[in-house]
Amino acid sequence: MRTVELIGVVLFLGVLCSESKYMVYNTSAGIDAGKINVHLVPHTHDDVGWLKTVDQYYVGSNNSIQGACVQNVLDSLVPALLADKNRKFIYVEQAFFQRWWNDQSELTQSIVKKLVNSGQLEFINGGMCMHDEAVPHYIDMIDQTTLGHRFLKEEFGVTPRIGWQIDPFGHSAVQAYLLGAEVGFDSFFFGRIDYQDRIKRKKEKSLEVIWRGSKSLGSSAQIFAGAFPENYEPPPGFYFEVNADSPVVQDNVNLFDYNVQDRVNDFVAAAIAQANITRTNHIMWTMGTDFRYQYAYTWYRNMDKLIHYVNKDGRVNALYSTPSIYTDAKYATSKSWPLKIEDYFPYADRANAYWTGYFTSRPALKFYVRKMSGYYLAARQLEFFKGRNDSGPNTDSLADAMAIAQHHDAVTGTEKQHVANDYAKRLSIGYTEAEKVVASSLACLTDSKSSFGCGDPTTNFQQCPLLNITYCPASETDLSHGKNLIVLVYNSLGWKREDVIRFPVVNEDITVHDSEGRKIESQLVPIVDAYVDLRKYYARAYLGSSPDDVPKYWIAFTVSVPPLGFSTYTISASKKPGAGSTKSSIYKFQKGEKPAIEVGEGNLTLTISAPSGKIINYVNNRNLVEESVEQSFSYYTGYNGVNDKAPQNSGAYIFRPNGTYHIKAEQASLTVIQGPLVNEVHQQINPWIFQTTRLYKEKEHVEVEFIVGPVPIHDGFGKEVATQITTSLENSKTFYTDSNGRDFIKRIRDFRTDWDLEVNQPVAGNYYPINLGIYIRDSKKEFSVLVDRSLGGSSIVDGQIELMLHRLLLDDSRGVDEALNETVCVLDDCRGLAVQGKYYYRIDPLGEGAKWRRSFGQEIYSPLLLAFAEEDGENWMSSHTPTFSAIDASYSLPDNVALITLQELDDGKVLLRLAHLYEVGEDSDLSVMSKVELKKLFPGKKIVKVRELSLSANQEREEMEKRRLVWKVEGETENQNENPKVVRGVPVDPKKLEVDLAPMEIRTFVMEFEVDLMSTTFKRIVDA
Amino acid sequence: MRTVELIGVVLFLGVLCSESKYMVYNTSAGIDAGKINVHLVPHTHDDVGWLKTVDQYYVGSNNSIQGACVQNVLDSLVPALLADKNRKFIYVEQAFFQRWWNDQSELTQSIVKKLVNSGQLEFINGGMCMHDEAVPHYIDMIDQTTLGHRFLKEEFGVTPRIGWQIDPFGHSAVQAYLLGAEVGFDSFFFGRIDYQDRIKRKKEKSLEVIWRGSKSLGSSAQIFAGAFPENYEPPPGFYFEVNADSPVVQDNVNLFDYNVQDRVNDFVAAAIAQANITRTNHIMWTMGTDFRYQYAYTWYRNMDKLIHYVNKDGRVNALYSTPSIYTDAKYATSKSWPLKIEDYFPYADRANAYWTGYFTSRPALKFYVRKMSGYYLAARQLEFFKGRNDSGPNTDSLADAMAIAQHHDAVTGTEKQHVANDYAKRLSIGYTEAEKVVASSLACLTDSKSSFGCGDPTTNFQQCPLLNITYCPASETDLSHGKNLIVLVYNSLGWKREDVIRFPVVNEDITVHDSEGRKIESQLVPIVDAYVDLRKYYARAYLGSSPDDVPKYWIAFTVSVPPLGFSTYTISASKKPGAGSTKSSIYKFQKGEKPAIEVGEGNLTLTISAPSGKIINYVNNRNLVEESVEQSFSYYTGYNGVNDKAPQNSGAYIFRPNGTYHIKAEQASLTVIQGPLVNEVHQQINPWIFQTTRLYKEKEHVEVEFIVGPVPIHDGFGKEVATQITTSLENSKTFYTDSNGRDFIKRIRDFRTDWDLEVNQPVAGNYYPINLGIYIRDSKKEFSVLVDRSLGGSSIVDGQIELMLHRLLLDDSRGVDEALNETVCVLDDCRGLAVQGKYYYRIDPLGEGAKWRRSFGQEIYSPLLLAFAEEDGENWMSSHTPTFSAIDASYSLPDNVALITLQELDDGKVLLRLAHLYEVGEDSDLSVMSKVELKKLFPGKKIVKVRELSLSANQEREEMEKRRLVWKVEGETENQNENPKVVRGVPVDPKKLEVDLAPMEIRTFVMEFEVDLMSTTFKRIVDA
Which residues in chain B are contacts of A79 at CB distance < 8 A?
16, 79
> How many other C-beta atoms are found inside a 10 Å radius of the C-beta of residue B392?
12
Beta carbons of A67 and B18 less than 8 Å apart: no
How far is Cα B614 from Cα B763, in angstroms, rounded to an integer? 24
Identify whether the C-beta of residue B523 lies closer than 8 Å to the C-beta of residue B584: yes
Q: What is the pLDDT of residue B1006?
A: 97
Beta carbons of B103 and A19 less than 8 Å apart: yes
Residue B1 contacts A, CB cutoff 8 Å: yes
Which residues in chain A are contacts of B58 at CB distance < 8 A?
255
Beta carbons of A15 and B68 less than 8 Å apart: no
Residue A67 contacts B, CB cutoff 8 Å: yes
In what order do the strands lie in the sheet containing A553-561?
A497-505, A553-561, A522-526, A582-583
Which residues in chain B are contacts of A96 at CB distance < 8 A?
none
Among residues 666-705 of chain A, which lie with CB inside 8 Å of chain B? none
Beta carbons of A242 and B56 less than 8 Å apart: no
Q: What is the pLDDT of residue B15?
A: 46
User: Would you say the C-alpha torsion A754, A759, A764, A770 has a positive or negative sign?
Assistant: positive
Q: Compare all CA atoms of chain B with the CA of A12 and give the residue at the minimum distance.
A: B9
Which residues in chain B are contacts of A425 at CB distance < 8 A?
256
Residues with Cβ < 8 Å from B626, sequence gap 6 or more? Answer: B617, B618, B619, B620
Q: What is the pLDDT of residue A729?
A: 97
Render the burial of B448-471: b for 16+ CB within 10 Å, e for the rest.
Answer: eebeeebeebbbebbbbbebbbbb
Secondary structure class of B111 (helix, strand, coil): helix
Cα A148 versus chain centre, distance: 15
Among residues 79-108 of chain A, which lie with CB inside 8 Å of chain B? 79, 99, 102-108
Task: Give the one of B55, B103, B252 whose C-beta lies nearest to A21's C-beta.
Answer: B103
Q: Which of B12, B23, B250 is the best substitution to test chain A (most A C-beta atoms within 10 A)? A: B12
Categorize the per-residue pLDDT at B646 as very low, low, confident or very high, splitting at 50, 70 and 90: low
Task: Give the one of B102, B245, B297 whose C-beta lies nearest to A76's C-beta.
Answer: B297
Please provide the DSSP assignment of A390-437 as one string.
TTSSSSHHHHHHHHHHTBTTTTTS-S-HHHHHHHHHHHHHHHHHHHHH
Q: How far apart are the first and last CA of chain A?
A: 56
> How many other C-beta atoms are found inside a 10 Å radius of the C-beta of residue A945?
12
Residue A447 CB burial class (10 angstroms; 0-12, 13-18, ≥19): buried
Identify whether the C-beta of residue B150 lies closer than 8 Å to the C-beta of residue B116: no
- What global pTM score does this model have? 0.93
Please provide the DSSP assignment of A552-620 as one string.
-EEEEEEEEE-TTEEEEEEEEE-SSTTSSPEEPEEEE--TTS-SEEEE-SSSEEEEEETTT--EEEEEE
For the stretch B48-88, pLDDT in tens is 999 999 999 999 999 999 999 999 999 999 999 999 999 99
| Better-predicted residue by pLDDT, B1019 or B755 | B755
Of B678, B698, B630, residue with least CA distance to B856 = B698
Residue A351 CB burial class (10 angstroms; 0-12, 13-18, ≥19): middle
Q: What is the pLDDT of residue A980?
A: 64
Among residues 990-1019 of chain A, which lie with CB inside 8 Å of chain B? none
How far is Cα B419 from Cα B55, in angstroms, rounded to an integer? 10
> Mutual orientation of helices A70-82 and B3-17 as an angle, nearest 10°?
150
pLDDT at B592 over 70: no
Secondary structure class of A337 (helix, strand, coil): strand
Q: How far apart are the first and last CA of chain B?
A: 57
Q: Kindly report whether the peptide bond that precedes residue B393 is cis, defined as omega within 30 degrees of 0.
A: yes
Residue A75 contacts B, CB cutoff 8 Å: yes
Of B404, B350, B408, residue with least CA distance to B172 = B408
Beta carbons of A250 and B59 less than 8 Å apart: yes
pLDDT at B19 over 50: no
Mean pLDDT is lowest, of A694-708, B836-850, B966-980, for: B966-980
How far is Cα B442 from Cα B567, in angstroms, rounded to an integer? 11
For residue B668, report the phi and psi dihedrals to the nearest 5 degrees: -70, -10
How far is Cα B712 from Cα A432, in angstroms, rounded to an integer? 76
Mean predicted confidence (pLDDT) in B424-428: 97
Q: What are the Cα distances from residue A470, in Å, to A502, A546, B454? A: 10, 12, 105
Task: Give the one of B16, B61, B244 whose C-beta lies nearest to A257's C-beta.
Answer: B61
Mean predicted confidence (pLDDT) in B413-424: 97
Q: Kindly report whether the peptide bond that precedes residue B473 is cis, defined as omega within 30 degrees of 0.
A: no
Nearest 5°: CA angle at B876, between B871 and B881?
Answer: 135
Identify whether the C-beta of residue B853 lies closer than 8 Å to the C-beta of residue B538: no
Beta carbons of B16 and A256 less than 8 Å apart: no
How far is Cα A421 from Cα A193, in angstroms, rounded to an integer? 30
How far is Cα A1 from Cα A10, in angstroms, rounded to an integer? 12
Beta carbons of B21 and A104 less than 8 Å apart: yes
Q: Compare all CA atoms of chain B with the CA of A292 and give the residue at the minimum distance.
A: B243
> How many other C-beta atoms are found inside a 10 Å radius of the C-beta of residue B2?
8
Which residues in chain B are contacts of A301 at CB distance < 8 A?
71
Residue A380, CA atoms < 13 Å, CB-side half-sphere: 24
Residue B111 contacts A, CB cutoff 8 Å: yes
Identify whether the C-beta of residue B186 lies closer than 8 Å to the C-beta of residue B148: no
Task: Give the one of A20, A53, A63 whose C-beta lies nearest to B103's C-beta.
Answer: A20
Of B602, B506, B521, B505, residue with least CA distance to B559 = B521
Residue B64 contacts A, CB cutoff 8 Å: yes
pLDDT at B149 over 80: yes
Mean predicted confidence (pLDDT) in B878-885: 92
Q: What is the pLDDT of residue B1013?
A: 45
Residue B561 CB burial class (10 angstroms; 0-12, 13-18, ≥19): buried
Distance, in angstroms, between A430 CA and closest chain B CA? 14
Give the number of beta-carbon pairs within 8 Å between A and B: 163
Identify whether the C-beta of residue A472 lies closer than 8 Å to the C-beta of residue A550: no
Which residues in chain A are contacts of B77 at CB distance < 8 A?
none
Task: Give the one of A53, A242, A256 whose C-beta lies nearest to B295's C-beta.
Answer: A242
Secondary structure class of B884 (helix, strand, coil): strand
pLDDT at B530 over 50: yes
Distance, in angstroms, between A243 CA and closest chain B CA? 4
Residues with Cβ < 8 Å from B991, sequence gap 6 or more? Answer: none
Which residues in chain A are contacts of B262 at CB distance < 8 A?
none
> Mutual orientation of helices B417-446 and B363-386 as an angle, nearest 10°?
30
How far is Cα B413 from Cα B833, in angstroms, rounded to an integer? 14
Distance, in angstroms, between B331 CA and closest chain A CA? 39
Task: Give the one of B58, B99, B104 whose C-beta lies nearest to A21's C-beta.
Answer: B104
pLDDT at B186 over 60: yes
How far is Cα B952 from Cα B143, in angstroms, rounded to an integer? 8
How far is Cα A854 from Cα A865, in angstroms, rounded to an integer? 20
Beta carbons of B298 and A72 less than 8 Å apart: yes
Beta strands in B241-394 (DSSP E): 282-287, 317-320, 336-337, 339-341, 348-350, 353-354
How far is Cα A51 from Cα B106, in angstroms, rounded to an integer? 45
Task: Give the one of B56, B68, B71 whose C-beta lies nearest to A257's C-beta.
Answer: B56
Among residues 244-283 of chain B, which lie with CB inside 8 Å of chain A? 244-248, 250, 252, 254-257, 259
Which residues in chain A are contacts of B298 at CB distance < 8 A?
60, 69, 72
Among residues 34-63 of chain A, which lie with CB inside 8 Å of chain B? 53, 55-56, 58-61, 63
Beta carbons of A243 and B68 less than 8 Å apart: yes
Residue A1018 identity: F
Contacts 24+ apart (CB under 8 A), A683-686: A683/A613, A684/A530, A685/A633, A686/A633
Nearest 5°: CA angle at B749, between B745 and B753?
Answer: 55
Distance, in angstroms, between B906 CA and closest chain A CA? 20
Can you count the helices (H) and strands (E) in chain B? 21, 52
Residue B72 contacts A, CB cutoff 8 Å: yes
Residue A943 CB burial class (10 angstroms; 0-12, 13-18, ≥19): middle
For the stretch A466-518, pLDDT in tens is 999 999 999 999 998 889 999 999 999 999 999 999 999 999 989 999 999 99
Task: Give the one of B244, B250, B259 whose C-beta lies nearest to A63's C-beta.
Answer: B244
Beta carbons of A78 and B242 less than 8 Å apart: no
Beta carbons of A103 and B19 less than 8 Å apart: yes
Beta carbons of B58 and A18 less than 8 Å apart: no
How far is Cα A575 from Cα A482, in angstroms, rounded to an integer? 10
Residue B68 contacts A, CB cutoff 8 Å: yes
Identify whether the C-beta of residue B403 lies closer than 8 Å to the C-beta of residue B45: no
Q: What is the pLDDT of residue B10?
A: 46
> How many other C-beta atoms are found inside a 10 Å radius of the C-beta of residue A425?
13
Distance, in angstroms, between B63 CA and closest chain A CA? 5
Identify whether the C-beta of residue A129 lies closer than 8 Å to the C-beta of residue A154: no
Identify whether the C-beta of residue B470 lies closer than 8 Å to the C-beta of residue B535: yes
For the stretch B670-719, pLDDT in tens is 899 999 999 999 999 999 999 999 999 999 999 999 999 899 999 888 99
Q: Compare all CA atoms of chain B with the CA of A422 and give the residue at the minimum distance.
A: B256
Residue B12 contacts A, CB cutoff 8 Å: yes
Q: What are the Cα distances from residue A384, in Å, to A331, A373, A633, A897, A908? A: 43, 17, 45, 20, 9
Q: What is the pLDDT of residue B851?
A: 96
Residue A268 identity: V
Of B37, B42, B53, B31, residue with least CA distance to B232 = B42
Q: Which residues of chain A have pLDDT under 70?
A: 1-23, 449-455, 591-592, 643, 646, 666-668, 974-980, 1012-1024
Q: What are the Cα distances from residue A171, in Å, to A176, A650, A772, B685? A: 8, 21, 17, 76
How far is Cα A611 from Cα B122, in angstroms, rounded to an integer? 88
For the stretch B597-607, pLDDT in tens is 899 999 999 99
Q: What is the largest CA-CA distance in chain A?
A: 102
Residue B956 CB burial class (10 angstroms; 0-12, 13-18, ≥19): middle
Q: What is the pLDDT of residue B218?
A: 94
Cα B229 versus chain centre, distance: 27
